[in-house]
């Protein structure tokens, strides 16, 4: 089966801003990241009312909304968000400078509404919503820990900055 090319989608209405922050992050393995990505797509494939493989742009858009929600929550209440990683397998924690893309205040409310509407439209139950959220958190934190930005977030053009 051939997957159609990914069409760009617009998040400008969320008024995203890039915030430079130094975060104290847990150590995550490649296996943690892989498991989270598989959990995210697996839950959508099993619990959703649509075929994720036939609509990659919609999947990427939903994933981006979820990652932006994690970023917003990380800026608002990092201690609560990072409490998911309280076991010894995530130690020692370390500091990392990150360029965190997050929706503005008004954009954050729109983002949460977009996620809720999508979950309702796809008929994702509460238990699977929890699994999706935890998977998105792991994917976001793993990406911030390794590359200092969210997955799907464009890397800044360093030459354009000079």
User: pLDDT tens-digit profile of 54-105?
Assistant: 777 788 889 999 999 999 999 999 999 999 999 999 999 999 999 998 988 8
The answer to whether residue 14 is domain-embedded is: no
For residue 8, name the pLDDT band (cuts at 50, 70, 90): low
Determine contact, residues 64/8, Cβ cutoff 8 Å: no
Range of the domain at 151: 33-155
The answer to whether residue 12 is domain-embedded is: no
CA distances, 117 to each of 6, 60, 97, 112 (Å)? 22, 16, 33, 9
- How many other C-beta atoms lie within 10 A of the C-beta of residue 64? 20
The answer to whether residue 125 is domain-embedded is: yes
Q: Is the pLDDT of residue 31 over 80?
A: yes
The answer to whether residue 109 is domain-embedded is: yes
pTM, whole model, 2 decimals?
Answer: 0.85
């Amino acid at each position: 089966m051939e997957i159609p090319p990914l069409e760009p989608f617009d998040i400008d209405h969320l008024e995203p801003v890039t915030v430079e922050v130094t975060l104290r992050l847990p150590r995550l393995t490649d296996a943690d990241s892989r498991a989270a990505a598989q959990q995210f797509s697996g839950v959508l494939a099993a619990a959703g009312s649509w075929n994720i493989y036939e609509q990659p742009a919609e999947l990427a858009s939903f994933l981006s909304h979820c990652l932006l929600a994690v970023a917003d929550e990380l800026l608002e209440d990092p201690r609560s968000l990072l409490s998911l990683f309280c076991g010894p397998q995530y130690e020692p924690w370390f500091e990392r400078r990150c360029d965190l893309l997050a929706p503005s205040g008004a954009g954050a409310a729109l983002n949460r509404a977009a996620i809720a509407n999508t979950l309702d439209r796809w008929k994702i139950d509460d238990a699977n919503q929890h699994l999706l959220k935890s998977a998105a958190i792991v994917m976001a934190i793993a990406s911030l820990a390794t590359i200092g930005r969210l997955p799907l977030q464009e890397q800044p053009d360093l030459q354009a900055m000079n």
